[in-house]
Structure 1
Amino acid sequence: MVDLSPARQPREADARPVPFRGGGFAPGRNRWAGLVVFVALIAFFEVGTRTGVISSLTMPPPSAVAQTLWRLVETGLLWQNLGPSLYRLAMGSLVGCGAGILVGFAIGLFTLARAGLVPLVSALFPIPKIALLPLFVIWFGIGEGSKVALIAFGTFTPTVVATFGAVDGVDRGLIRMAQSFGVPWLRIVTRVVLPDALAGILSGLRVSLAIGIVLLVAAEMLGARYGIGAYILEAGALYDLERLFAGVVILSVLGLLVSAGIGALERRLLRWRG
């Protein structure tokens, strides 16, 4: 028999705390790690190009690229090229992602839509969207229509796949429990399915918008007078590496801003998860 007398019971001071081992499932934030890596890379390339370890014919010094960016700001060329690009990206992504979310929900919720649309989406998804640019030019002309349509089509299919995958991943037990309480179908969709699928949908939007930026550059390299893609094409044709890398930096910053925007949406819309 175990002796549970006060003399045998462990004192609270003698008890060893058990460390929490679930940290990998709740990663913390470290705001400085990314900045340190970024600054280290900039310093490496700056020193490498200044000392001749990295040839200036293949990469300009980051300081020279920064000066080029500043000249773009001073002369107004940055906004002259960035404005049309942001408009095309916003319009194409709004149409493509919006339609993709609707179609993805239809596939996830309705049997007939799943049977009819999944084969079509599966056939369209692997097609390289850049290869369709000449076809979009024939259909929509050389102007804004073809560029917006290409971005919309390129963001549509990955959004559909991410959305109906997220809807499929919703816990069916929650849906059955809501049905057992007589909750209306629309309320189940808005209060159970949508909140549970929202994380997957937002993750899909990250991928879709990144694809949209890639297609934006490709579309602007054909028949665009202004735009980041047209600016990069002109710099490459002139072998102006400083301007070329300045355009790449602008695209990188645009990608970071898009990712930060999705992250802000996640923190706001998914804060109920804790």
Structure 2
Amino acid sequence: MTQLKANRVEVTQDALTSAITARPIPGKSGTFTRRSPRWASEGVRWLVPLLLLAFWQLSSSVGWLNPRVLPAPSAVVSAFWELARSGALWHHFLISLGRAAGGVLIGGGLGFTLGILTGTFRGAHVLLDTSFQMLRTIPNLALIPLVILWFGIGESGKVFLIALATFFPVYLNTQHGVQSIDPRLTEMARSYGLSPLETFRRVSFPGALPGVLVGVRYALGISWLALVVSESFGASSGIGFLAMDAREFFRTDVIVLAILIYALIGKVADALVRALERRLLPWQVRA
């Protein structure tokens, strides 16, 4: 009898988790949508950038573009090869990557924790949310004088600005994800006797996970914007410093290279989060 009761509780908990994630319960038939091969989809995604690149090279070759204003892609590739061969590019890239990763981990971790807190408990929402919304509207550029006074021109100030910028996307989307959970599912969890920790694991976290991942995608994009701002003051290394130094010597090719590096890193980061979504949220239909 005890074993039968335990099996029944496990089945109800599995049903609860399936209700949260909208996944078919094992043993039940599900509906699947036929999709085109992934390589074909990725090819279409890169079609427009490749066409723009070809038009850019053609315009430079026939003289439509002044190389001092916008160098040809071939000149940018030459600048890349020159900096990569000397090792300067990898040095600056790894420093910028470390700053961005540190800021995202700190800001995203705090955003997730406080988003769960304010989304779950009304008292925490009333106490904290208004202050966070006021802070969210302050531009990072306006904080630079204070950041210099607080942290100096070292690494901590740069990581602080990135963490502050990435905090709010994760916080808002996590909070929205938790608040969007059907209250009946929480009541169902209580009626099954789930502990608060089990309720979080089986109800709150799966329900908020789509919103969390959307927030992470926004945060990764914003982190590189904040990195540009943070590397605009007191930096002696990093991709932003590389671009600022190139401006002093009118190296437009290096400036464009830095911009393209930011764009490519943003694309790679977004692709990684999308892959994580496919793994953690396989029941969602995507284009």
For the aligned residue pairs, the C-alpha RMSD in angstroms reads 1.9
SS in structure 2 opposite 1:118?
A: helix
Letter matched to residue 171 of structure 1? D
**Percentage identity across paired residues of the two chains:** 36
Matched, 1:137 2:145: no
**Normalised by the size of structure 2, how large is the TM-score?**
0.83
Q: How does 1:88-103 map to 2 (within 5 A)?
A: 88-103=99-114
Structure 1, unaligned runs of 5 or more: 1-21
1:27-86 C-alpha deviation (Å, 9 max, x unpaired): 755121122222111100000111122332321111110111111111101111011111
Runs of 4+ in 1 over 4 A off after TM superposition: 25-29
Which residue of structure 2 lines up, in the alignment, with residue 76 of structure 1? 87
Which residue of structure 2 lines up, in the alignment, with residue 3 of structure 1? none
- State whether residues 130 and 215 of structure 1, in contact with CA within 8 Å, keep that contact through their aligned partners in structure 2: no
Work out the CA distance in 2 between the residues paired with 1:188 and 1:151.
32
Q: CA deviation at 1:211?
A: 1.2
Q: CA deviation at 1:229?
A: 0.6
Q: How does 1:28-39 map to 2 (within 5 A)?
A: 29=38, 30-39=41-50
Work out the CA distance in 2 between the residues paired with 1:173 and 1:56.
63
- State whether residues 94 and 152 of structure 1, in contact with CA within 8 Å, keep that contact through their aligned partners in structure 2: yes
1:101-149 C-alpha deviation (Å, 9 max, x unpaired): 0000000011111001110111011111122122111101111111111
Work out the CA distance in 2 between the residues paired with 1:98 and 1:48.
46
- State whether residues 124 and 157 of structure 1, in contact with CA within 8 Å, keep that contact through their aligned partners in structure 2: no
Which residue of structure 2 lines up, in the alignment, with residue 179 of structure 1? 190
SS in structure 2 opposite 1:226?
A: coil
Work out the CA distance in 2 between the residues paired with 1:72 and 1:43.
23
- Closer, same or farther: CA 26–160 of 1 in aligned 2, 3 Å: farther
Q: How does 1:28-67 map to 2 (within 5 A)?
A: 29=38, 30-67=41-78
- State whether residues 206 and 262 of structure 1, in contact with CA within 8 Å, keep that contact through their aligned partners in structure 2: yes
- State whether residues 220 and 229 of structure 1, in contact with CA within 8 Å, keep that contact through their aligned partners in structure 2: yes
Work out the CA distance in 2 between the residues paired with 1:118 and 1:85.
31
Work out the CA distance in 1 between the residues paired with 2:60 and 2:73.
9
Greater relative CO (CA pairs within 8 A, separation 6+)? 2
- State whether residues 210 and 255 of structure 1, in contact with CA within 8 Å, keep that contact through their aligned partners in structure 2: yes
- State whether residues 166 and 223 of structure 2, in contact with CA within 8 Å, keep that contact through their aligned partners in structure 1: yes
Work out the CA distance in 1 between the residues paired with 2:273 and 2:172.
18
**Normalised by the size of structure 1, how large is the TM-score?**
0.87
- State whether residues 125 and 158 of structure 1, in contact with CA within 8 Å, keep that contact through their aligned partners in structure 2: no
Matched, 1:166 2:177: yes
1:160-204 C-alpha deviation (Å, 9 max, x unpaired): 111101111112232222222222222111111111211111111
Work out the CA distance in 1 between the residues paired with 2:161 and 2:50.
35
Matched, 1:119 2:136: no
Structure number with larger C-alpha Rg: 1
- Closer, same or farther: CA 42–157 of 1 in aligned 2, 3 Å: same
Matched, 1:237 2:225: no
